[in-house]
Amino acid sequence: MLDRKFIIDNAELVQENCQHRGAQVDIRHFVELDAQRKEKQFEVDELNRQANAVSKTIGKAKDAQEREARKEEGRRLRDRTAAAQVELEPIIRELDELQRAIPNLSHPDVPVGVDDKSNLELRRGEHQPRQFDFKPLDHVELGEKLDLMDFEAGAKVTGHGFYYLKNEAVLLELALQRFAVDRLVKRGFTPMITPDLARNDILQGT
């Protein structure tokens, strides 16, 4: 999730990125909301400061009448603080909702397009695709024929286009993961396994 200050400081870039990625987020409104948040937060903080200052003077009152007047002034400031806080909370909620809808920035070299036809081929490996003397099966047909994938269970749990890997496909997936990790370790990366659980704010941030 993009940092709020980064969004404010780079509003045009973030808005352009939203358009490229098909995200319907009004960044100008986000900037305006954040300005309202700052203004209202300043009001809350200032009222709190005044209320605390009045509270410290109660014990220094000359008589009971002055002491009661200062208590009343403190209650009035606390009420105004509470009212300002109530006005602040929906602004913060809307800001958070908008911020979670803003996508991360794409790399500048990523082509802009509506489907995979806009993808660019950057390079090919040294091996050419194998030529068959028969019509090969696609991965869906192969997966079902060899009992490597369960598309029906995947669709029930996650939705169309997802699947369960089974049998030798699981072993191949694990081998590919290990192959990638081994290459990364050789390049100096530190392999890590993260905790299974995380706090809500951490999950939102990722």
- Domain residue ranges in the chain: 4-101, 137-205
* pTM exceeds cut of 0.75: no
Instruction: Identify whether the C-beta of residue 51 lies closer than 8 Å to the C-beta of residue 70.
Output: no
Give residue 138's identity as a one-letter amino acid code: D
Cα 48 from Cα 56, distance rounded (Å): 12
Q: Which pLDDT belongs to residue 129?
A: 84
Quickly state the pLDDT bin for 175 (edges 50, 70, 90): very high
Which two structure tokens, joined as six digits, stand for 29? 């409104």
CB-based contacts of 48, cutoff 8 Å, min separation 6: 81
Q: Stretch 56-67: mean pLDDT, rounded? A: 86
Q: Which pLDDT belongs to residue 29?
A: 97
Q: Which pLDDT belongs to residue 68?
A: 85
Cα 163 from Cα 192, distance rounded (Å): 27
Domain 4-101 listed as CATH 1.10.287.40: yes
Candidate from 2-11, 58-67, 139-148 with smallest mean pLDDT:
58-67
Q: Which pLDDT belongs to residue 205?
A: 73
CB-based contacts of 142, cutoff 8 Å, min separation 6: 148
pLDDT tens for 139-163 read: 889 999 999 999 899 999 998 889 9
